[in-house]
């Protein structure tokens, strides 16, 4: 804290007229600058400024503890021997120990063997190189819990943030399953897919479905699904589209799709909603020939 006995006072006009003088005075102690008799600002040396910053003269620990405790991420700091020196509230809850109990513990005291080994390698690399690094790993504490760990140099040691990424991991797994399914349908040769807009028009059509119907992509994209079914089936198709888009379950129909030359292809089609966030943004169409 600033020592009141070291402080001097100067008016803003005096500081403006002879800034060099008051800059030198500030090297010996803080200078309170007044305007119309009221204190407005304080002129400090860099040493005084450093001592009064949270964390000391080197400016470390700039984030106040009260802010760290509001973070959703777990925040843990360790010394060069990778012993815990601090933990915010989220980390305490995740590790199920109070900060006082965590101080001095090693990673092997906090995590199962595999997770501790992964984290130890990461933090040692950060200590050696000084470069931030990240890794994803199972927490080992709760079934299905996965963490993203972001590590960085901190106060002569190392710190790390932990974020639960269970939903991200699950989403990536679903995306991988989808990619595999699309690849399988492509080599199958009798399962065509298309992406439809909320207006029921084709946004994209895969090569298999194009080949089944004899169209080029440019000839069918932006056309309505109801445009490629016989007139008598359009009401059923439009009703199915409406049900899917209003949040209903996926729909399946046996009907004819019209080819480029007007010929009819007996198909089983399924329609399912696609979503962006919480909003339905279109439909996926799956079409397979009806076997006689």
Looking up residue 265, the CATH number of its domain turns out to be 3.30.450.20
- 233 and 265 in a single domain? The answer is yes
Range of the domain at 243: 169-289
Whole-Å CA distances, 79 to 64, 84, 133: 19, 7, 17
Taking the C-alpha atoms of residue 202 and residue 224, their distance in angstroms, rounded to an integer, is: 6
Structural domain contains residue 235: yes
Q: What is the mean pLDDT of the chain?
A: 83
- 71 and 145 in a single domain? The answer is yes
- 110 and 35 in a single domain? The answer is no
- What pLDDT was estimated at residue 51? 57
With a CB cutoff of 8 Å and minimum separation 6, the contacts of 216 are 210
pTM over 0.95: no
Tokens of 119: 């984290």
pLDDT > 80? residue 15: yes
Q: How many structural domains does the chain have?
A: 3
pLDDT > 70? residue 142: no
CB 160 within 8 A of CB 145: no
pLDDT in tens, 195-238: 999 999 999 998 889 999 999 989 999 999 999 999 999 999 99
State the CATH number of the domain containing residue 8: 3.40.1620.10
Could you write out the DSSP letters of every residue in 58-100?
T----S-HHHHTT-SSEEEEE-TT-BEEEE-HHHHHHHTS-HH
Q: In DSSP terms, which residues pair with 202 in a beta bridge?
A: 196
- 78 and 95 in a single domain? The answer is yes
- 104 and 48 in a single domain? The answer is no
- What pLDDT was estimated at residue 141? 64
CA torsion through residues 115, 116, 122, 123, sign? positive
Structural domain contains residue 72: yes
């Amino acid at each position: 804290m600033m020592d009141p006995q070291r402080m001097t006072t100067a008016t803003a006009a005096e500081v403006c007229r002879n800034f060099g003088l008051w800059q030198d005075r500030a090297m010996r102690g803080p200078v309170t600058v007044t305007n119309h008799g009221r204190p407005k600002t304080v002129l400090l040396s860099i040493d005084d400024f450093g001592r009064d910053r949270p964390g000391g003269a080197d400016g470390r620990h700039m984030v106040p503890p009260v802010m760290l405790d509001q973070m959703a991420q777990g925040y843990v700091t360790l010394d060069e021997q990778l012993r815990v020196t601090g933990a915010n509230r989220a980390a305490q809850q995740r590790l199920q120990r109070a900060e006082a109990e965590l101080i001095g513990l090693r990673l092997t005291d906090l995590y199962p063997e595999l997770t501790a080994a992964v984290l130890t390698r990461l933090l040692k690399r950060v200590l050696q190189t000084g470069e931030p690094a990240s890794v994803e790993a199972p927490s080992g504490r709760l079934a299905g819990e996965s963490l993203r760990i972001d590590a960085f140099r901190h106060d002569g040691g190392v710190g790390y943030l932990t974020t639960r990424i269970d939903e991200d991991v699950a989403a990536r797994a679903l995306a991988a399953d989808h990619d595999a399914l699309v690849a399988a349908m492509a080599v199958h040769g009798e399962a065509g897919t298309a992406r439809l807009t909320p207006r029921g028009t084709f946004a994209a059509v895969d090569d298999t479905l194009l080949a089944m119907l004899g169209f080029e992509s440019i000839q069918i994209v932006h056309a309505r699904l109801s445009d490629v079914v016989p007139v008598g089936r359009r009401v059923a198709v439009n009703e199915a589209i409406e049900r899917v888009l209003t949040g209903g379950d996926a729909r399946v129909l046996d009907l004819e799709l019209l080819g480029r030359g007007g010929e009819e292809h007996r198909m089983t089609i399924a329609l399912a909603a696609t979503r962006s966030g919480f909003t339905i943004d279109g439909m996926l169409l799956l079409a397979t020939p009806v076997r006689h």
